[in-house]
Amino acid sequence: MIRFRLAELLADKSFKAGRRIEWQEVAEEAGIHRTTISRMLNTRGYNSSMSNLDALCRYFDCQLGELAVYVPDTELDTTVERSFRGPRTSAGRPSTDQIAGKRGGKKAG
């Protein structure tokens, strides 16, 4: 899994600038929506576009390897299930039957 090191990079940039830099400022200056940055920070295995990675490397003046690191799945506490809607941890996820029950109908079969 790829882990983004945004928090570490922001802490370094804030230290060097001698002031607190907020995520909203990063979003505005990098040209990335604040929600996208939030997802990169908080969603395990978030699938970001190359243009977002390029903008963040430009903003932080870093190489891609400083922005993201590979973490082997064996080092993670929970497995990550990938879908077209984005990765989610498999723990606590409702089954297909539970989802169908919430809709009030039976699954077509």
Q: Say yes or no to pLDDT of 23 above 70.
A: yes
Q: Say yes or no to pLDDT of 84 above 60.
A: no
25 falls in which pLDDT band (50, 70, 90)?
very high
User: Domains of the chain: which residue ranges?
Assistant: 2-74
Query: Is the CB of residue 42 less than 8 Å from the CB of residue 78?
Result: no
- The terminus-to-terminus CA distance of the chain in angstroms comes to 35
CATH of domain 2-74: 1.10.260.40
Provide the 3-class DSSP secondary structure of residue 106. Answer: coil
Q: Say yes or no to pLDDT of 36 above 90.
A: yes
Q: Say yes or no to pLDDT of 76 above 90.
A: no
Can you give the pLDDT at residue 74? 80
Element (H, E) at 100: helix 96-103
DSSP code of 62?
Answer: -
Please compute the mean of the pLDDT values over residues 29-37 and round it to a whole number.
95
